[in-house]
Amino acid sequence: MPLSALPELTLSHTAMSVLEAAEKAGRLHLAGSVEDLVALATPDASLGLGEIGPDGRYIVGYDVAERGFVAEAEVCQTRNGVAANYLESYMRRRDPDCMVVGDATHTDKPTFEARFGEPFGNLRQQTVEWLQEQPIAAFFFRTGLPDKPLNAVAIAPANAGFFALGLAMLQGIVPLEEIREEGANYHHGAVVYVAPPFRHTYFDGKQVVVHNRRFEDEVNLHELFSYNLYPGPSAKKGVYGMLLTLGERAEDPWTTAHCSTVEVVTPYENATTIMHEGASGGGKSEMLEQMHRESDGTLLLGHNLVTGDTRKLVLPRGCELRPVTDDMALCHPELEAAYASPGKLVLKDAESAWFIRVNHIDKYGIDPHLEKITVNPPGPLLFLNIDAKPDATALIWEHTMDAPDSPCPNPRVVMPRSYVPGVVDHPVTVDIRSFGVRCPPCTAERPTYGIMGLFHVLPASLAWLWRLVAPRGHGNPSIVDQGGMQSEGVGSFWPFATGRKVDQANILLEQIMETNETLFVLIPNQHVGCWQVGFAPQWIAREYLARRGAAPFRPGDLIPSRCPLLGYNKHTLMVEGQTIGTWFLDVSQQPEVGPEAYDKGAKILTDFFHEQLNQFLVDDLLPEGRKIIQACLDGAAVEDYEALTNC
């Protein structure tokens, strides 16, 4: 459908100028379906967007001043979708420093002018002028509540059809007939512009995404300029930032949680809803996965890095999993009003597809459920960083190599949620709210913050602090490694927010304290002390907590953890008649660690909390939040956090 078929469409002057220039030159590809963009991802020669090489791969690249043609990615059609591989290993994961703010509205984020020494307006104009000379792929999408959506338009160079495809799958695509029917009643509040060559001419090859919030003079438009073709910082997290901004500016502020959510149905037909938050790599997608079993059907609980011992668990039957969200969940007041149970949070999915990391699936048979869907899906998928062959079946365990013997740590598949068996489409009430942390090994010789047991139970006030700090943790596969312990902060979604930390902290505090009938737990992954455990802790915690339900623990069930920041822990754990000993629940009891190394690790963790929390002690912080943070800085015991939760 040509742009002229939408005669009453009113877009911002800038967006319309790009679309009109492309249509005038016969270079506008206005998409109304995912299928339109699948065809554009590897276009045939008649479209004049590039050539398919003799190996069947389409090269996505751009002419760059003083460098000539720079290839960005190779794309091919496969039997089960489209596969794109970036030619730089740096582009295969998100750069945590990619986001800047291009406007003068209040923000705690780095601004474009502060980082690059000039206002964004000049580059914005150059970007628009470049886009006006390009073949363009454009489509409309919506995000947010169905009855109160944030309408948006995406504008990208047409040869980057795979990027547009990823955005359309993740956020949904509005049919052009629907836009035409709305006519003059259609109003957009956001635009995504994609301009890859400026990564080289302005940003020294780095990923940069600029949020330009134009809320003055009744414009009310959120512009996002993506200067790279990895969808993580822009198509995924960039739109996430738009939702966070929308909630922050609302009359009754709300947030979009960074979490997966799953309804867990036990073999006894009891249902419990678990919401699992955490920084990138914190186990959100894994919470939706069935346990990865050994060849004998057992679950590997852990491998002792000092003694070489292993521990396994026999679970003849796991719980049924009904996925709700994978990464982004709308926590809107209207949902609570319609569905709420007293003292509990209500949420729904904020995405149309899921950006699933599959680095842990490195051979056939590890996750039969996901493997089955991706090998023979009901419709096309988008694979990133998968070593796929043209016209063959892309296999999620065949990862692109960053270097010889070094597979990319961030292979992905974009999976429409409608493909997922048993997916829940309605809002749900949260019973258990967990937080995941990637932990390094901790031993007596090398003490670290890897002192968390299999799971810990937290008072609501302490759960809020964990979300303010949100440690990124050990060996994160999703982002460019910065080394050491880092913070993603404020619910672990701070890297994507555009405003002030204190505003998001206040929204989160009110949400948590109003829903303190929820059970809050903390779950590590990768290591429990000296035991290498992968994601076994959250699978075991999920199975155990679902079986016992969301009822409070009885007096005496829990003991205060040696480190107060870890709340409470069980002494031993009984799962389907098998006892998990205290070594996995209290790391100080591990002979290879001991109390002294544990306490050194606790100090590392406590010092990190103090460093991160001090920045929230500003005038606009709610008084209740100030009391909780001050208690932590003063060395509060877990009983003090309980008192602050119940006051």
**Quick check: is 481 in a domain?**
yes
Q: Is 80 contained in some domain?
A: no
β-pair type (148-157, 190-194): parallel
The pLDDT of residue 6 is: 84
Residues 220 and 304 in one domain: no
Residues 454 and 524 in one domain: yes
pLDDT of residue 520: 96
Q: What is the pLDDT of residue 61?
A: 94
Amino acid letter, residue 224: L
Q: What is the pLDDT of residues 136-177, one digit of tens each?
A: 999 999 998 888 889 999 999 999 999 999 999 999 999 999
Q: How far apart are CA 231 and CA 336, in angstroms?
A: 31
Q: What is the pLDDT of residue 482?
A: 54
Is residue 235, in this structure, part of any structural domain at all? yes
Q: At what angle do helices 460-469 and 623-633 cross, to 10 degrees?
A: 80
**What range does the domain containing 624 cover?**
282-315+431-646
CB contact at 8 A, 584 and 531: yes
Query: 292 and 239, same structural domain?
Result: no
Residue 228 lies in a domain: yes
Q: Indicate whether 162 and 308 sit together in one domain.
A: no
Q: For residue 616, is it within any domain?
A: yes
State the distance between the two ends of the chain, measured CA to CA, in whole angstroms.
Answer: 60
CA angle 144, 145, 151 (to 5 degrees): 50
Residue 72 falls inside a structural domain: no
Domain count within the chain: 2
Q: Please tell me whether residues 593 and 641 are part of one structural domain.
A: yes
Q: Do 161 and 288 lie in a common domain?
A: no
Are 439 and 518 part of one and the same domain? yes
The pLDDT assigned to 25 comes to 94
Nearest one of 332, 304, 327, 309 to 248, comparing CA atoms = 332
206 with 297, same domain?
Answer: no
* Same domain membership, residue 567 and residue 476: yes
Query: CB–CB of 530/601 below 8 Å?
Result: no
Residue 68 forms part of a structural domain: no
Alpha carbons 533 and 530: distance in angstroms, whole number:
9
Tokens for 277, please give them: 């938050």
Count helices and strands (H / E) in the chain: 16, 31
pLDDT score for 480: 61
pLDDT of residue 337: 73
The segments of the chain whose pLDDT lies below 50 read: none
One domain, residues 151 and 296: no
Tokens 């796991």 correspond to 318
Write the CATH number for 165.
3.40.449.10
Q: In this structure, are 134 and 21 located in the same domain?
A: yes
* Strand order across the beta sheet in which 353-357 lies: 58-64, 68-78, 81-86, 381-384, 412-416, 353-357
- Residue from 4, 51, 52 nearest 28 by CA: 4
Domain boundary among 208, 225, 249: 249
* DSSP 3-state of 87: coil
Q: What is the CATH number of the domain that holds 525?
A: 3.90.228
**Where does a domain end: 233, 249, 265?**
249
**In this structure, what are the phi and psi dihedrals at residue 249, rounded to the nearest 5 degrees?**
-90, -5
Which pLDDT belongs to residue 89?
95
Residues 182 and 305 in one domain: no
630 lies in a domain? yes
